[in-house]
Structures are given as C-alpha cells and as structure tokens.
Amino acid sequence: MIARRPLRRTVAVVVATMSLCAVQASSSHRIEKATVTVLCPLTVGGSFEAKTTALTGDLTVQAGSPDGVRGTFVADLRQLETGISLRDRHLRQNYLEVDKGPAFAVAALEKIRIDNWNGAGRFRGLLTLHGQQREISGTATVTPDRRGFLVEAVFPLKISDFQIPPPTYLGVGVKDTIEVKVKMLASAL
Amino acid sequence: MLRKLSARGLALAILVGSSIPAAASPTMIRLGYPSCAACHVSPQGAGLLTDYGKGIDLAQSIFVREYNPDPQAPPRRFRQDVRALLGYQYTSGLLPAHDGTASTDAQVWHRAAAWLTPQQRLSSIILVDGWPDDSTKVSADPKLVVTKAVWEYRPKDGLELVVGRDSLPSGLENADHQRELRRLIARGARSYPTQAKLFWWTDRVQVTPYVFGPGGDEAKVDRQYGAGALAGLVTLQQHAVIGLSARAARSEVTNDRRVGMYARLGFGKWGILTEHDRIDRSPRGVDGAAPHGYAGLTQIFVATPEWLVLSLGAEYVSLDGTGTYTYRLLPSAQIRVSDKLTFVVGQKDRYTDPDRAHGRSFTVQLFVKTS
C-alpha cells in the first residue's frame, strides 16, 4: 500500500507531461465540460451573472507553434441564464437579439493565442458577438490534465464595442464593461 | 398553580410573539445583490420598493409579468402602499400538559415616502396591529405603532444619512431574531428607537455607524442611549458579505454591550445567512462580572423555482451564568404568487433548558400589498 502512492503520483506526472507534450506538438481536443460566466455590474451597485454551460468546439494546437490554436469556441447565447427568467428573456431578445440570426445566437472565439500552456499567462483572440468582431485579451491559466488540459480564462469586454444596446431596466443599468469567465476541460481526441 | 399558569402564558407569548417573518430579503444576495439599495427605497431594506425592485418582485412571482411604468412620466415625488398580513397560528404546548391553541392575526402597514428634493425624502411606516392578547386569547384593541418616521438624505449614490425613529440596523435584518434577542437578553430595549445613522456602501464595503436614544414609548428605566456600527466586506463577486457588528447602550439601570459577526452568502439558487453575537448586560453601579449572553442564527435557503424560497433556520440563545438556553428550529416556505400576494408557511420548534420543554407553532400567513 505504501509503495503505491509514489507510483500513482509518478504515473500521473508522466501522463500530465505527455499530455502537455502532446499539446505542444500538434494535437486535437474537444471541449467536454465548460462554464461561461458573464459578470454584469449594475449601475446602482451589485451585479448579476449570466451563465451557460453550452460551450462547444474542437481545436487543434498547431505543430511548431505552441501558442497558436486552430479552431473555434462557440457559446450558445440562447442558453444564458441569470437566475430570473424574465431577465433571461430581456437579455436574449432585447439586448443580444439572438433571434436575428446565427451570428447573433452565438458568441464565437477564434484565432486564439495563449502565452503559456502550463500555468498562468495571457491570451488573446477574435470574438464575434452580436454580429460584430473585435479582438479581446485577458488572462488564462492552463493546467495539464490526464484527459487533456483545464483552462480558466478571464477577459473584460465593452458592451458598446459590440453595438449591443445599453441594457437598462426600470432605471437600473448594466455598466459598459463586463467580465467574462470561462472554465473548461478540453479532452484530447 | 399560579406559577404553572404564568409559565404557560409566557410560553405562549414566546411562541406567538416570535412568529412574524422578516420583511427584508437578504436572500437576494444569491443573485448578486449584496445590499438592499438596488430594490428598496431605503438602504436598510424592507419597506417601499423602487421601480426596479417592483420589476424584480414581479419577475420572481408565479405569475410573471412586466412592470411598465410610463417612461414619459416625471419622477414620482410620493410613493405609498398598504401591506396587510392575515395569519393563522396553531401552537402546541411548550409545557407537557398544555393543549394546543389556535389564534389568528391581522396587521396592516401603511408605508410612504415623499421626496422633498431628489436627494431628500421623508419616510414613514405606520402599523395597525390587531394581534390577540396572549393572556386571554381574546383579540385586543388594534394598536397603532409608528415603526418608522425618518428624514433621509442621499447626497450621492452609495451614501445616505437617516435621522428619526426606525429599527436599528443589523447584519441580517431579521426582525424575528432581533425580537428574540430583546426578549431573552436585552429586555427593555425598544424596537424603534430614535436614531441617526449613516449608510455607506460600495462594491467592496458596507459601513453603517449609528447613534440612538429613546423611542419615546418606553418606561423611564428602559430609556437607552447608545451607539453602534456595522462594517461588512463584499466579496466573492458580490455574492458574499462578511461583517462585524458592535453596539453599546446604557439606561438608568443597565449597561449593554454587543459584539458579533455576520455573513450573507448566496450562489444562484441557494445561500446561507448567519449572525452571531455576544451580548453583555450588567446592572449599573454593581461591581463584579455580569452574566453574558450568546445568540446565533444560521439559515440555509434554496430558491427553486424563483417564486418559492424554502429555508431552514437554527437559532441558539444562551445566558451564561444562569444555565438558561433556548434553541429554535425554523423551517419555512415563502411562495410569491404575484407582486401583491405572498404566502408564508412556517413552523417553529422551540427547545428550552433547564426545564427541557418543547413547544411548536405552525403558522400560515398571507401578505397582501396594494402596489
């Protein structure tokens, strides 16, 4: 029993390292578990969160370019939930205007570049939201995992940059700068 | 026999008197509302709602609908509503030989706020209390109580000065718990003293210092003068407030000191509210250490679906040195039918020592609002 613990630890380290090496060479991954949380601060203080687990995407880390990712992350905005159903409806229909077409129903992140594939670092990418495309950047922590890697990314975005109407309700508004947090597990294919 | 009867009367008074639910909604922290100011006219919460608060109130009802005030209308200079409580309560004996007792309850609040300027307003709450007389179980004459009469000045968002008669601020704003502390430990302390208090709140901190004096309706020996403060840190992306509280008061006969901590945490559909205080009460002019009291309340709640809030509270109050303690277990369900109609069903189990008594009350309450 005593001897098993170091052995397990060694195996885990080896698997994680192999996984990291696989990422750094060229490998394909699929998002399996993800949560997108959008933190919306209110003009009167306080905030609310809009959350979804509907994040999908396949990605390939390009060989010879360890910080370049080919592929797209897609979040289904029709599944964003804030904890109040009426607010969900307002958010989706009045502000994100998800019924206007596919370009409005989802948010897509592509051309992602991550500085550090093992630990904390910065990332940037091209976000398409509300029919508008803008570059975004933030922080990302990548943790190699035996299944692939875990990513926790945070980035700010300005609502006005994406031509989303300023969200207000009965005199209370959402501040222009909101924060997006993404947690996901990308499993090796 | 007389002793037994008075104990029975006290037991009933304990159960009946503690059955009024809190009017504030600190559970809204689960949705990222760490302070009351987003939805309530007053930063202390309870009372009248802002337009936004009305919208949220409606949005969390069984019959969800939009709140659509006229966008062209000028800002309202006067708001008022009437809130009524109709309650039924069944109480089984705190003492082994005691039979169950049924009682009804009716209370009506008139709540009003008038804006003198955009920054200044006068607010009042008048309560007509038709609570039955516990000793005879015959309805007493309705009692008129001014629970709030204040001048409020908000020079900017996040800062408000309040002067007048009101309930004292507390960490959880749980009226039932505060009433229990007054009943068991700080006897004579009034519900609505005259006070001046300052509310300062940001995304990171909430600070409320205050001073207070007699409310005017207490006996001379119970007239208290004192000061206190609440200081809370807002954290976990606006989903938690963790704070400290302190209060000192003196009357002709006692010195009271209270220090404690509180926390309000909520994450989506659930949360925890907790408040713990050490309360020292010593007779003035008497040497030696006085017994101190401890009081704690922890409440876990779940809101799923939005219109149903289920909660389970556990309360503990003790008076060290006397060996007396009281536990209460407080399950309840709040059903928000519409913005005007709310049902509350609750049970209160009370255990006391050293007499090892157990009492239970079951309440059904219907709250009706006019707007």
* Nearest residue in chain A measured CA to CA from B51: A170
Residues B270, B196: contact at Cβ < 8 Å? no
Lowest average pLDDT, out of A64-78, B18-32, B127-141, goes to: B127-141
Max mean pLDDT among B50-59, B73-82, B200-209 falls in B200-209
pLDDT digits (tens, 9 = 90+) for B45-56: 888 998 889 888
Residue A37: Cβ within 10 Å count = 16
Q: Is B283 in CB contact (< 8 Å) with chain A?
A: no
> Which one of A40, A43, A47 would you mutate to disrupt binding with B, by most B Cβ within 10 Å of its Cβ?
A47
Cα separation, A171 vs B2, in Å, equals 61
pLDDT of A140 higher than 50: yes
Other Cβ atoms less than 10 A from the Cβ of B261: the count is: 16
Which amino acid appears at position B242 of this protein?
Answer: I
Percent of chain B with pLDDT over 70: 86
Closest CA to B264 of B298, B291, B307: B298
Of B32, B50, B64, which is closest to A48 when you measure between CB atoms?
Answer: B32
Q: What are the chain B neighbours of A39 within 8 Å (beta carbons)?
A: 237
Q: Which of B55, B238, B268 sits opposite A169 (nearest CB)?
A: B55
- Output the pLDDT for position B147: 92
- A122 and A115 Cβ atoms separated by less than 8 Å: yes
Short-list B340, B309, B357, B317, CA closest to B21: B309
The pLDDT tens digits of the residues spanning B346-357 come to 998 988 887 778
pLDDT value at residue B222 = 85
Phi, psi of B33 (to 5 degrees): -110, 90
Average pLDDT for A123-152? 92
Contact check, Cβ <8 Å, A172/B67: no
The pLDDT of residue B315 is 95
- The DSSP secondary structure of B47-96, one letter per residue, reads SPBPHHHHHHHHHTSSS-------TTSPPPSEEEEEEEEEEEEEEE-SST
Alpha carbons A70 and A65: distance in angstroms, whole number: 11
- Flag the least confident range among A105-109, A116-120, B7-11, B108-112: B7-11
Are A137 and A102 spatial neighbours (Cβ–Cβ below 8 Å)? no
Complex-level ipTM: 0.73
**In the predicted structure, residue B2 carries a pLDDT above the cut 70:** no
Nearest CB to A84; choose among B203, B237, B306: B306
Closest by Cα among A44, A35, A171, A88 to B33: A44
Residue B160 has a pLDDT of 97
Q: Is the pLDDT of residue B13 over 80?
A: no
Selection from B55, B66, B172 nearest residue A48 by Cα:
B55
Nearest to B59 among A42, A87, A171 (CB): A87
Residue B1 in this model has a pLDDT that exceeds 50 = no
Residue B16 binned pLDDT confidence (cut-offs 50, 70, 90): very low
Per-residue pLDDT, averaged over A109-135, amounts to 91
Residues B212, B223 contacting (CB under 8 angstroms) = no
Interface check B199 vs A, CB under 8 A: no
pLDDT of residue B6: 44
Determine the pLDDT at residue B210.
98
Cβ distance B52 to A84 less than 8 Å, yes or no, reads: no
CA angle B137-B139-B145, nearest 5°? 120
Q: What are phi and psi of B15, to 5 degrees?
A: -75, -45
Which of A46, A49, A84 is nearest residue B38 as measured by Cβ atoms? A46
Higher pLDDT pick, B183 / A62: B183
Average pLDDT over residues A24-43: 86
**Between the CA of residue B285 and those of B8, B288, B289, what are the distances in Å?**
34, 10, 12
pTM, entire model: 0.81
Q: How far is B163 from chain A (nearest CA, A)?
A: 23
Task: Read off the pLDDT of each residue in B225-243 and give the average, rounded to a whole number.
Answer: 95
Averaged confidence pLDDT in chain B: 84
Mean pLDDT of chain A: 85
Q: Residue B17: pLDDT above 50?
A: no
CA-wise closest residue to B88 among B51, B131, B50, B59:
B131
Task: Name which of A152, A153, A144, A154 is nearest A187 in CA terms.
Answer: A144
User: Which residues are within 8 A (CB) of B258 and not within 5 positions of it... i.e. 6 or more apart?
Assistant: B186, B228, B245, B246, B247, B248, B277, B278, B279, B280
Q: What is the pLDDT of residues A169-185, one digit of tens each?
A: 888 899 999 999 999 99
Residue B254: strand pairing partners: B283
On the question of pLDDT at B89 being above 50, the answer is yes
The alpha carbon of B211 is separated from its chain's Cα centroid by a whole number of angstroms, namely: 19
Beta bridge partners of B44: none
> What span, in angstroms and rounded, lies between the C-alpha atoms of B94 and B10?
9
For residue A186, give both structure tokens.
Answer: 């990308």
Q: Are A93 and A56 in contact (CB under 8 A)?
A: no
Is residue A71 very low, low, confident or very high in pLDDT (cuts 50, 70, 90)? confident
**What band does A25 get if pLDDT is binned at 50, 70 and 90?**
low
Is the predicted pLDDT of residue B242 greater than 60, yes or no? yes
Q: Which among B52, B264, B307, B336 is the top mutation candidate for probing chain A, defined by the most A β-carbons within 10 Å of its own β-carbon?
A: B52
Residue B213 has pLDDT above 60, yes or no: yes
| Partner-chain contact A47 B32, CB within 8 Å | yes
- B59, A48: Cβ pair inside 8 Å? no
Cβ A47–B237 below 8 Å, yes or no?
Answer: yes
Q: How far is A171 from chain B (nearest CA, A)?
A: 7
* Confidence label for A150 from pLDDT (cuts 50, 70 and 90): very high
Residue B169's pLDDT band (cuts 50, 70, 90): very high
Q: What is the percent of chain B where pLDDT is above 90?
A: 46
